[in-house]
Chain A
């Protein structure tokens, strides 16, 4: 294998995975109501297909893909469409959503396969089925998976990298997927390799998951070149560009895609999802979510129907403790704090972390002392100290010239800053402003 088993810079936050790493995935029962926002993926929101009063079965399409960078949304439980209305969305806005009143105690009737068997499908048909099944990246960004499966002709892809690093503290979603569903992961890899036409795949897993590594190694196929690469435990090891650097020794140039170095990266959860849809015939309607943190009474790994409300999920985990003060979707490094318990868990929700007073306390901010720790933490070698000064002055053009767009908002700089300067938030704001200006121009 080329390269060392890690990248330069980065940070070592407490892993805190002990709460759920040994806990088996439990299936969560259907809640009374399911909320499916039409915008659950990067790209164009799906186009609504149903109206209030319509009857839907589990797996029925409620919204269809609107263009190429878009995927349909399927009902995750049988029931009646109660309303189409504005509901809280994990990004903090109010988004148009399909609200389904779920049938209680009604049997989930067997139905014909929605996704066909993969044998006999051409690579192109496989990619089409992946889009039709509503598959998106389950690692958090929710980028439609089929788009990554169609590299342009001038960018040949030679390696598929499966991202099982799961470097965010607390989360064990991918970990449990690898431990409990290794065959599904291998099946997904097989399908992906055929769709992409590549003959090499590497699964990168951080060394703090030895059980996952051994389970995957035991199930490796004999007829394909698939290998497991143990990675040094460091944040953000699971960032696409960091992972590519470790596996191939190549750096993705600034502003370019992994395809430019002949690589496609998929989260291990998405791979298992592709294995699952072709195995069961159901589209993406449920996902594994880690519900954890010191503020939740029974930390769990759950199989949750997409669109289940935060309130119902927490209730199923026996509620939150009196100390709970903040609820974050995703990990504590990059996740977004949620202001509303009625927010649904969507396709891209990797975890629910309930933090307590000690962790979510408000801290005093001090001026920058130019210690340079943020420079040593930044995995993409930016100068967060300089960028922070520019952000405070609102000089977004200068930030762009200082390569702000290479920032992936991993939060390492904010994490190490002894003055508690919210650098990462400043950069999120800067990137927002630049995108807005580009859109207006």
Chain B
């Protein structure tokens, strides 16, 4: 081995390393962008679920907005109260109050009240079942019950009950929108908890045609629209709640509903069939 060759290669590599090192050092000074160290700190405290329920692109984007004061810490619906106080203390602002928003199911037709008209024997997925002849439920708009939403839920907030209907556990739901996107029949909506008047049906049929396929379908009788004309109106065979005027609503709107399609919902949506022991509402 030639010692000169060793020296030469060490010198060349060392020289290259030194040159680039210097360049990087200069670039680091010249192109330096100051970033609030609190962004990293805050990102660490946030849940890190990157669920997007706050409306920002992820937890880091939310942290930046919170430090800018564009959003109150309570805008993150996933955080527990303890973390919320930590964040508020760290930023020196009030935690603020966010309306609790949860996913609501616009169907109450479990297998106990809404019969199937055909057997579905295929991939265990609502999207796949709906793609072939509607999935076999007599009501073409109703929940297929194969749990695409429960699978999509990151927070384990959706459990299937004994009638194959998904039940949302409000304490866990962060309104991240995943179930809304997963449902092939668009049966989920995000609603603030204080919007208590809910039409749990999307069946467009009227009268007996509707109740023939599901005992709890909206049969478009119009009683709710009569009792609460300022909040509920009838449209295309379905009662529609005007949520811009929800503060005018009270339980009387749902009192005379013959099928129970429109409900005054306090807390969780409870369907006639309770959850199995494995999925109690307190979870």
Name A residues whose Cβ lies closer than 8 Å to a Cβ of B.
85-86, 88, 91-94, 336-340, 362, 422, 425-426, 428-429, 432-433
A88 surroundings in chain B (CB, below 8 A): 140
Q: How far is the CA of A339 from the CA of B135 in the complex (A)?
A: 9
Beta-carbon nearest neighbor of B116 in chain A: A339
> Within the assembled complex, what's the spacing in Å between the Cα atoms of A428 and B123?
11
Evaluate contact between B128 and A91: CB separation under 8 angstroms.
no
The B contact surface, by secondary structure, is loop
Task: Evaluate contact between A429 and B133: CB separation under 8 angstroms.
Answer: no
Chain B hits for A85, CB < 8 A: 209
Q: Give the 4 A-B CB pairs with smallest separation, nearest first.
A: A92-B134, A339-B118, A92-B133, A94-B140
B140 A93 Cβ-Cβ under 8 A: yes
A91 to B127, CA, bound (A): 14
Q: Does B117 lie at the interface of the complex (its beta carbon under 8 Å from any beta carbon of A)? A: yes
- B123 pairs with A426, CB closer than 8 A: yes
Task: Annotate B112-147 by CB proximity to A: 1 below 8 A, 0 otherwise.
Answer: 000001100111010110111111100011000000
Chain A residues whose C-beta falls within 8 Å of the C-beta of B132 in the assembled complex:
92, 336-337, 425, 428
Given A94-B204, A94-B205, the answer on whether A339 and B131 have CB atoms closer than 8 Å is no
Please state if B140 and A429 are interface contacts (CB–CB under 8 Å): no
Residues of the A chain whose Cβ atoms lie less than 8 Å from the Cβ of B123: 422, 425-426, 429
Contacting pair B204 A336 (CB below 8 A)? no
- Distance between A396 CB and nearest chain B CB, rounded to angstroms: 11
Which of the residues B134, B136, B209 comes within 8 Å of A93, measured between beta carbons? B134
Contacts of B125 in A (CB 8 A): 429
Is A422 touching B122 in the complex (CB atoms < 8 A)? yes
Instruction: Give the Cβ gap from B253 to chain A, nearest Cβ, in Å.
Output: 26
The one of A86, A92, A428, A429 in contact with B204, judged by C-beta atoms closer than 8 angstroms, is A86
User: Which residues in B have their C-beta under 8 angstroms from that of A91?
Assistant: 133-134
B237: shortest Cβ distance to chain A, in Å?
8
What's the minimum C-beta distance from B150 to chain A, rounded to whole angstroms?
15
Chain B residues whose C-beta falls within 8 Å of the C-beta of A338 in the assembled complex: 133
On whether A86 and B205 interact (CB within 8 A), knowing A429-B125, A429-B128, the answer reads yes
Q: Which residues of A contact B121 (CB under 8 A)?
A: 362
A293 to chain B, nearest CB (A): 17
Give residues 31-71 of B contacting A (CB, 8 Å): none
Contacts A86-B205, A428-B132 supplied; 18 other A-B pairs, CB < 8 Å: A88-B140, A91-B134, A92-B130, A92-B134, A92-B135, A94-B204, A339-B118, A339-B136, A340-B117, A422-B122, A425-B122, A425-B123, A426-B128, A428-B128, A429-B125, A429-B128, A429-B131, A432-B131
Chain A residues near B118: list those with CB within 8 A.
Answer: 337, 339-340
Q: Kindly list chain A residues whose C-beta atoms are within 8 Å of the C-beta of B133.
A: 91-92, 336-339
Question: Please, which residue of chain B has its CB at the minimum distance from the CB of A431?
Answer: B131
Subset of 15 A-B contacts with CB under 8 Å: A92-B135, A93-B140, A94-B140, A94-B204, A336-B133, A337-B118, A338-B133, A339-B133, A340-B118, A362-B121, A422-B123, A428-B128, A428-B131, A429-B128, A432-B131
